[in-house]
Structure 1
Amino acid sequence: MASSALEDLSFHINLKISTIKKTLQLRNIGQEPSLKSMLSKIGQEMVLLHDLLNKMEVEVQQHEKLKNMLKELQKSVERDQTEVQHLRENIPPHLPKPTRSCVAGLTVKREDQTKVVEPECAKKPTKEPRLIKEAPLITAEEFESVPAYMKGRLTYDQINAVVQEMNKAVVGKYKILHQPLKSMNAAVRNLYHRYLEEETKDTKGQFFIVEADIKEFTQLKVDKRFHSILNILRHCQRVREIRGSRLVRYVIC
């Protein structure tokens, strides 16, 4: 056992020495003027290779998501097929006759008199829901068109994740603004009044949020990375800024 352990230790030490020698040799080679340009090219190729690997990783993730969605769709279709087959094999011999209570313009004869019965189940028209504008996700083509100095190490998925979170904040804010005052508690009413105070003549008819809304409705950190993504969203015309009263309003384009 002692001999084996000693051999392992010796091998480990020799391996470390060999690694150090190779490192020193590479460092010395790097100082030669004739090889500096070659090493620079190798470095550039490594950067391009790293970007290519990032793109491949994004593509693999998207294909993985698509595969999972197709699996779920297949399961759903199989369930529907089973239910349809069951219904087909178990059709009841006597089906109920349709009722007449909701038939518009039904004619009823009573003692040689004819009158038109108005439909009893007509419902009052419901109010159309107010639409809340959301920013569309960035497309792959748009992502490719963003300058490299803007993107840095940011990925396509990271940018669209921020778009989705900002949309969540927009929906959360304007649901409160469209809510009747009587149904609000004290906390929601405070938010409602803050939203009204943040409106200006430039934001009339626009959908916008501020940093406080992002913190209220999302888990996003308003940091340097977030502002880098905002630059990309402005470049792709997803948001624009309106400044005033010490506030930056992010308007959905």
Structure 2
Amino acid sequence: MDLKQAGSSLDSLISSFNTRILDLQELVIGRNMYPATSVPDLSAVDTAVKAMEFQVQAIKDRLREETEAIPKAKKLIDMSLRQQKKLQHMLAHMPPRLLESVTVSNRNPSNCLMQESSNHDFHLGSLKLDEEPVALPKEKKGRGSAPLWYVTAEELDSLSSYMRGRLTLDKVNAAINDMAAYAETNAQLIAAPKKKLAEGSWEKALELRDIAMTEAVKGKHFFLESDIKGPALKLDNTGKAILTVLRHLGRISEARIGHHRVIILSKPQ
């Protein structure tokens, strides 16, 4: 290596050291340029962070309270719905005279308030919100025996041979006897007080009462498809054929209520 190249390398090394020293000096100057204002800025940042932490904690507490209140709200809603059903049931079975007086008093409260107050207190005081089903009014068909609308030989002969099949008049009318027995049993369950029912019958009685309040069934005798257990009517091919014939002859009608297939006894036209 000649002297010229050695001098050039030394100059480059010295220049590199000088550049590094300048960089370090700038870093030191930048760090210590505003020492008086850096502390308040950091304090302000710390205060803001703490305020945000308090807000987040308040949000967490509120969410916990709302979560704990959800089961109570669900229970309250369930109780309100049950109460609403009871009130609707009582309104549907309210005596006509009382219903008319309530309607008139609602339209003319200033004229009827004093006249009807004692009468309302007497009637409304007897309406108890208990768990027992309310008995159907006397004018409803459910209070009487289930009807027996037998099929005549002429009606059976009027059917096509395909629909009639091997059914006989005795089989069809025996099935009508069974259906009347099913409907009568359900009517007794609906009207029976809780204390007179067996342990496993109360839930079915409540379910039957709800079905009896629907528009399709109200005031009529009915039974469920699950009630069909013989002796004459069964859920076999013969039983299904009998139901088809009776539906065609207007002795029964059907409705789907909830998960139940409800069969309603109908008067032939």
**TM-based fold match above 0.5:** no
The TM-score, its normalising length taken from structure 2, stands at 0.42
The TM-score, its normalising length taken from structure 1, stands at 0.45
Q: Which one has the bigger helix percentage? A: 2
